[in-house]
């Protein structure tokens, strides 16, 4: 009996052990499958967040204030004022210019830093012109700028705004030089991205340049206009793109003006390179609403109040360094002009690069002379009657160099 009972216990134990092994195996298999699935999901998520951006690229260093601003056609946002706060303008971005006196244009307003004239309402900046006696003037308004805080050389400068519509108002979005290295206005340049005058044409937007050679005081300013209905009843986007040798103006998505520096006009003209093109220096941004004056025209006698509403101001730049893939081609069509005495001009057709030519290195008889951003140079120190070998070497923003292009220049005695 005992033997039979012992045999039954042994048989039951064997079945129990097999059952436990089977259960353990199933449990282990389920756990491994779940773990494997979890690991796969985690690996997939991690892979999608790996960045391949060059850490030195503009795109990898977009400031937080521009995080929601898209990159369009290679233009990377590098400075953004979205006016998404309330109160006075951000003092880390803007400063007020205050005072009056006409500003050289017979303007009628007195600029203040009061909330009555400039206030951010949480969505936009509102610059308000008022009819009031203040500081010996009949009107008040506001003017802000980035002078002393931020300056730029080249880029895309953009604003979205609704313009005032009462006759006599003169809103502007423009730039002036950080330093007047070529002299006082207009010698060091002025860049008008947007100007508008309801008195002369309420549906027209204007973009202009002012230099010693080209300015409104002598009637030679470089200006472009675009008829755009609704400038004073809705928001529109105004911008300019600026590089080493050209400007292009836009309203919304319409390109309405392009000016390209003309080296031949200088080489065969009566003015200097800087007189024609002082735009190789840093400039700062300005927003203001003037009253009356040379462009504002006659103020409506019933004027009481009007506003210039700015949704945002943004600055974009292109990454010409990390995206560069090759050296520039050589400059072509070298030509000499006004080769008299110890000086001469040499100009050429711009070199072609996959991104952008930064400058041209100029050599005289094998010795480095200077670097220039435009496709023209004025040579000095030449010897009358002695040929000089002039070589031009294009350099891009990544430091790649083109083959040198050469021309022989011999000056004559002054007449």
- Helix-, strand-, coil-residue percentages of the chain, each rounded to 5: 15, 40, 40
Angle formed at CA 298 by CA 295 and CA 301, multiple of 5 degrees = 150
**Distance separating alpha carbons of residues 66 and 313, to the nearest angstrom:** 11
3-class SS at 332? strand
CA atoms within 13 A on the CB side of 193: 29
Nearest Cα to Cα of residue 174 among 195, 203, 150, 205: 195
3-class SS at 277? coil
**Distance separating alpha carbons of residues 216 and 237, to the nearest angstrom:** 25
Q: Is 190 a catalytic residue?
A: yes
Of the residues 195, 244, 393, 395, only one is catalytic, namely: 195
Of the residues 190, 244, 309, 395, only one is catalytic, namely: 190
**Distance separating alpha carbons of residues 173 and 147, to the nearest angstrom:** 14
Nearest Cα to Cα of residue 247 among 272, 214, 202, 293: 214
Tokens of 383: 């010897």
Tokens of 396: 């891009």
CB 142 within 8 A of CB 118: yes
Tokens of 332: 């072509």
Please enumerate in sequence order all residues whose Cβ is within 8 A of that of 365, keeping only pairs 6 or more positions apart, or say none: 388, 389
CB 149 within 8 A of CB 113: no
> Which element (helix H / strand E) includes 19?
helix 2-48
Q: Is the dihedral of CA 294, 101, 205, 128 positive or negative?
A: negative
Q: Is 195 a catalytic residue?
A: yes
| Alpha helix positions (H), 202-314 | 263-267, 273-276, 293-296
| Environment class of 153 (CB within 10 Å of its CB; exposed 0-12, middle 13-18, buried 19+) | middle
**Distance separating alpha carbons of residues 186 and 211, to the nearest angstrom:** 5
Residue 292 region by backbone torsions, left for phi larger than 0, else alpha for psi between -120 and 50, else beta = left
Residue numbers annotated as active site = 190, 195
């Amino acid at each position: 009996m005992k033997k039979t009972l012992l045999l039954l216990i042994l048989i039951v134990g064997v079945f129990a052990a097999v059952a436990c092994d089977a259960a353990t195996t199933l449990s282990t298999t389920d756990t491994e499958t779940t773990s494997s699935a979890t690991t796969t999901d985690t690996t997939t998520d991690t892979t999608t967040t790996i960045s391949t951006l060059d850490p030195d690229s503009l795109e990898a260093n977009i400031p937080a204030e521009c995080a929601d601003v898209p990159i369009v056609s290679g233009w990377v946002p590098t400075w953004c004022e979205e006016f998404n706060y309330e109160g006075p303008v951000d003092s880390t971005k803007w400063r007020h210019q205050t005072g009056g006196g006409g500003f050289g244009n017979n303007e009628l307003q007195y600029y203040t830093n009061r909330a009555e004239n400039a206030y951010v309402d949480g969505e936009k900046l509102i610059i308000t012109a008022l009819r009031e006696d203040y500081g010996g003037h009949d009107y008040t308004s506001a003017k802000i700028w980035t002078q002393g805080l931020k300056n730029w050389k080249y880029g895309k400068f953009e604003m979205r705004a609704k313009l005032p519509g009462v006759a006599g108002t003169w809103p502007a979005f423009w730039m002036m030089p950080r330093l007047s290295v070529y002299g006082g206005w207009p010698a060091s340049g002025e860049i008008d991205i947007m100007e508008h005058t309801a008195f002369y044409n309420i549906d027209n937007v204007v973009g202009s340049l002012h230099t010693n050679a080209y300015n409104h005081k002598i009637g030679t300013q470089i200006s472009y206009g675009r008829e755009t209905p609704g400038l004073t009843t809705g928001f529109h986007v105004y911008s300019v793109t600026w590089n080493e040798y050209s400007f292009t103006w836009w309203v919304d998505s319409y390109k309405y003006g392009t000016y390209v520096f003309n080296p031949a006009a200088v080489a065969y003209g009566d003015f200097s390179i800087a007189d024609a093109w002082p735009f190789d220096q840093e400039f700062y941004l300005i927003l203001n609403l003037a009253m009356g004056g040379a462009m504002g025209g006659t103020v409506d006698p019933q004027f009481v109040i009007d506003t210039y509403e700015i949704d945002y101001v943004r600055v974009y730049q292109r990454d010409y360094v990390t995206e560069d893939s090759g050296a520039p081609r050589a400059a072509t069509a070298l030509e000499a002009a006004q080769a008299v005495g110890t000086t001469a001009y040499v100009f050429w057709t711009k070199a072609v690069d996959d991104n952008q030519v930064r400058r041209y290195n100029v050599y005289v008889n094998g010795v480095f002379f200077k670097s220039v951003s435009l496709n023209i140079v004025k040579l000095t120190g030449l010897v009358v009657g002695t040929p000089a070998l002039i070589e031009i070497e294009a350099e891009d923003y990544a430091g790649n160099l083109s083959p040198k292009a050469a021309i022989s220049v011999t000056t004559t005695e002054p007449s």
